[in-house]
Amino acid sequence: MPDLEVAQIETIERDAWLDMYAAAPAHVAAGLGLEHQVLDDGALLISRALDNLQFNRLASLGVLSPVRQDTFDAAISAFDRAGVRNWVVHVAEGAPSLEEMCRRRGLVPHRRTWAKFVRGPDKLDVGTSLAIREIGPEAAAAFGSVAAQAYGLPPATAEWLAVVVGRPRWHCFMAFDGAVPVATGAVYVDGTSAWLGIGATLASHRGRGAQSAVLAARIQAAAHEGCTTLTTETGVPHPGESGPSYGNIQRAGFRIAYLRPNFCRP
């Protein structure tokens, strides 16, 4: 039997990313080389133009049902056909057969492990001098631009990220310094589950509480929608690294549900 909390956490993240890929305009998907597939209970996400693990991964496989060897092999073959160099296979808690398959295929743990976080809908009170607002399609372009700049992604990615604004199941927020947008965050809602992502702040405005405030706004939005399980993730910092996201998430009342190693080619 699958662990129900793990299954809920993985499924909402998987579905949010699949929806994001499906929403990409055709010309953006072609330019970024986007591909996505549902493989049994997992999601295969590929971007040939973005050399970034966020956009090239096999996620959630083996959480709801045992991993099939042919499904795993098909995912690896898809990465190879796409010519993607840097990709990972997430091995969620409760999927030991997937780790065994990874090791038999010669994959090794990536240097960056991700922490999966969870919390309930309790209200979070934080303070910031920035204004936090939920936005609609009129601010979609600004949302995509700020997120892409903050993540160091190419301009085409801005147009892609912008499409989630106003999309069903999504609530998007921005922090403003006066009239200037400086930070973003989104929450994807499905039933009683919510996934928080696209949290980004321009370098010029880091350290001013933007992400904590945007987290609080997203938590409130999820609670308003009736969500009881809120989840997000970030990389576990190495010794000596600052890990601001890792700290911000825990200060917002999230607990670590489990650590999720990533397997890759040596």
pLDDT, tens digit (0-9, with 9 covering 90-100), for 203-217:
999 999 999 999 999
**pLDDT tens digit string along 98-117?**
999 999 999 999 999 999 99
Res. 153 pLDDT band, cuts 50 70 90: very high
pTM: 0.96
The three-state (H, E, C) secondary structure of the chain, written as one string: CCCHHHHHHHHHHHHHHHHHHHHCCHHHHHHHCEEEEEECCEEEEEECCCCCHHHCEEECCCCCCCCCHHHHHHHHHHHHHHCCCCCEEECCCCCHHHHHHHHHCCCEECCCCEEEEEECCCCCCCCCCCEEEEECHHHHHHHHHHHHHHHCCCHHHHHHHHCCCCCCCEEEEEEEECCEEEEEEEEEEECCEEEEEEEEECHHHCCCCHHHHHHHHHHHHHHHCCCCEEEEEEECCCCCCCCHHHHHHHHCCCEEEEEECEEECC
33-56 tens-digit pLDDT: 999 999 999 999 999 999 999 999
pLDDT digits (tens, 9 = 90+) for 174-197: 999 999 999 999 999 999 999 999
pLDDT at 2: 64
Joined tokens for residue 68? 């099939």
Mean per-residue pLDDT over the chain, rounded:
96
In the chain the domains, ranked by start, together with CATH numbers, are 4-115 (no CATH), 131-227 (3.40.630.30)
Nearest to 164 by CA among 173, 177, 175: 173
CB 15 within 8 A of CB 188: yes
Contacts of 15 (CB under 8 A, 6+ apart): 188, 190, 195
